[in-house]
Structure 1
Amino acid sequence: MCPECGCPLCRRDRKLRVHKEAGGRKNWFAINRLKCTNEKCRRLHNELPDCMVPYKHYGSGIIEDVVDDVLGPDDPGTEDYPCEATMNHWKWWLSHNEANINGQMKSMLHHLLDLDIGFLKSRESLLKELRERISPGWLSVVTRFIYNSGGRIEPNPER
């Protein structure tokens, strides 16, 4: 279903997408591109596997490990790939999207589970809770939940 208008999607074509791993190894995936069947919408959507994060070349596992400080620039497996600047960017990216992520997740859960308004006003961080409860794997859960519900995590949030 199209996350924009709710109409069915149909397969349009495939495109190659790079998936980088620690150490510089690259894998290529053939990603299905889906098109909305609604004549007024007609938007394209990429069907990504759980190991990929939209707008990122590295996999969710390595991004998650860097953000959680499991991996760093001094680790032997990540000496050159990803570089330290990329690692710092991922940390910056998540910290600048944290309020956006929490807001979208609370809004969707409020709608889906019919939770009271107190849930929306709560200062508790759902992202922090997920990072503690689902490790490893929290990043793929968060991205799938948000993107499959029609939301978006900004690839380059405003500074």
Structure 2
Amino acid sequence: MIPCPACDAVAYQVIGSRRRKGKTGDGGERIYSIRRLRCQKCKVIHHELPDCLVPYKRYEAEVIEATIEEPADLADLSDLPVEQSTLLRWRDWFFTLAEHWLSFLRSLARQGRMNLSVNGLSDRSQPVRQRIGQLVGDAGGWLARLVRPLANHHYWLHTRSACLSGRG
């Protein structure tokens, strides 16, 4: 159990669950049961997201991770059942938010909430993917290891948007 991001208490009550789909690399879908937890101290509700899912993304983390690994050409990813425009959007999403994520991971490490070495992470001469690898490791599953602390400490920014018109 991790501390509640809102109040640091470690007392949750399971109040239910909800279903969540995750699209796999072979085009299939998996259905997950996501537990809903209420902090007993501050009454905030949290969702227990498994490592294989990224908040607000339909595809599983390993599929998104494969597109960010920067193959020489997006044609190298033709075996994934994902449109090229989606692959480009994922890359844009990742590289737009990567510096933001790094700053929050550094902050968590300095607060003692994560056991990380943050030396040299502000050296922008290294590619951002390499700096993230220094924090969470370069082996497969690095995106899940990046997402977990940020989501669990409520530092995850959602990128969903809705266009609302003032016209009735």
TM-score (norm 2): 0.75
| % same residue | 23
**Equivalence for 1:63:** 64
CA drift at 1:67: 0.9
1:12 aligned partner, one-letter code: I
1:52-131 alignment runs, 5 A limit? 52-70=53-71, 72=74, 75-78=77-80, 81-112=81-112, 122-124=122-124, 128-131=130-133
**Equivalence for 1:142:** 146
Provide the rounded CA distance (Å) in 2 between the counterparts of 1:67 and 1:86. Answer: 12
CA drift at 1:135: 2.4
Q: Call closer, same or farther: CA 1:72–1:44 in 2, change over 3 Å.
A: farther
**RMSD across aligned C-alpha pairs, in angstroms?**
2.9
C-alpha contact (below 8 Å) 1:23/1:82 kept by paired residues: no
For residue 150 of structure 1, give the secondary structure of its aligned residue in structure 2.
coil
CA drift at 1:102: 0.9
Q: How many residues align?
A: 150
Q: Call closer, same or farther: CA 1:134–1:119 in 2, change over 3 Å.
A: closer
CA drift at 1:18: 0.2
C-alpha contact (below 8 Å) 1:110/1:119 kept by paired residues: no
**Equivalence for 1:2:** 4
CA drift at 1:49: 1.3
2:96 aligned partner, one-letter code: H
Provide the rounded CA distance (Å) in 2 between the counterparts of 1:99 and 1:131. Answer: 13
Provide the rounded CA distance (Å) in 1 between the counterparts of 2:48 and 2:75. Answer: 31
- Structure 1, residues 55-97: CA drift from partner, whole Å, max 9, x if none? 111111110110113594554422xx22112111111111111
**Equivalence for 2:44:** 43
C-alpha contact (below 8 Å) 1:107/1:120 kept by paired residues: no
CA drift at 1:137: 1.4
2:85 aligned partner, one-letter code: A
C-alpha contact (below 8 Å) 2:21/2:58 kept by paired residues: yes
CA drift at 1:127: 5.1
TM-score (norm 1): 0.79
CA drift at 1:140: 0.6
For residue 97 of structure 1, give the secondary structure of its aligned residue in structure 2.
helix
Provide the rounded CA distance (Å) in 1 between the counterparts of 2:27 and 2:129. Answer: 29
**Equivalence for 2:164:** none
- Structure 2: gaps (5+ residues): 162-168
